[in-house]
Amino acid sequence: MLLHIPGLFSREEVLRIRQALKQADWADGKVTAGYQSAKAKHNLQLPEGHPLAQEIGAALLERLWKNPQFMSAALPHKVFPPLLNCYTAGGSFDFHIDNAVRQPRGNPERVRTDLSSTLFFSDPDEYEGGELEIQDTFGTRQVKLPAGDLVLYPGTSLHKVNAVTHGARYAAFFWTQSLVREDSQRSLLFEMDAAIQSLTRDVPDHPALIQLTGTYHNLLRRWVEV
């Protein structure tokens, strides 16, 4: 499942964040890549624990936990603290699959990377190239969203970031460990939850709502891992 979640940050917030990112001290993005990924990764990144990354990450997580789409689609158990990156001057990240487990620096708790997310802080017309390409069952999808919007996709996906040939692409990225490990099961639950919400709005007194809601929670009870 690939999901576009719009408007996590307002236009004014995006402009302030991007201005701060332009003035930040960036490091080589290879510092958080695995052995194989490091060969393909050519970008800049704010170091883990950087005060600006922590500030933006905290604001992002606060919005995610209040976002109905994210909560329904991801069913989050743990979220890796968001990181910030920049692609410019030909920077790219060739096809790769994210490491299965991540551990935040200085934190003993590990996060299984069931879901990957990218939140864009640059608008599409501010840079050339830089598309996030994701391979899924429907083929290769290219993603280049407005600033403030997020894309959520399975961590098992083969994906890359095309070279940025002009301008700069600023973004946050992070991983989520879901209560439900399998993407196909999460997709079914997300679709069922959407149907329940639609019925609740349109025919709130329909007796099938109780049965459908019960089925949703029984499936969740069967598949959840805690």
Beta strands in 91-214 (DSSP E): 92-96, 101-102, 111-112, 115-120, 127-129, 132-136, 139-143, 150-154, 159-161, 164-178
Separation of alpha carbons 126 and 166, rounded Å = 8
Per-residue pLDDT of the chain (226 residues; tens, 9 = 90+): 999 999 999 999 999 999 999 999 999 987 665 555 666 789 999 998 899 999 999 999 999 999 999 999 999 999 999 999 999 999 999 999 999 999 998 889 999 999 999 999 999 999 999 999 999 877 899 999 999 999 999 999 999 999 999 999 999 999 999 999 999 999 999 999 999 999 999 999 999 999 999 999 999 999 999 8
Q: Is 96 annotated as a binding residue?
A: yes
Q: Is 183 annotated as a binding residue?
A: no
Domains of the chain: 3-178 (2.60.120.620), 183-223 (4.10.860)
- Rounded (10°) CA dihedral 104, 64, 174, 102: 40
Q: Is the pTM of this model over 0.95?
A: no
> What number of CA atoms fall less than 13 Å from residue 8's CA on the CB side?
32
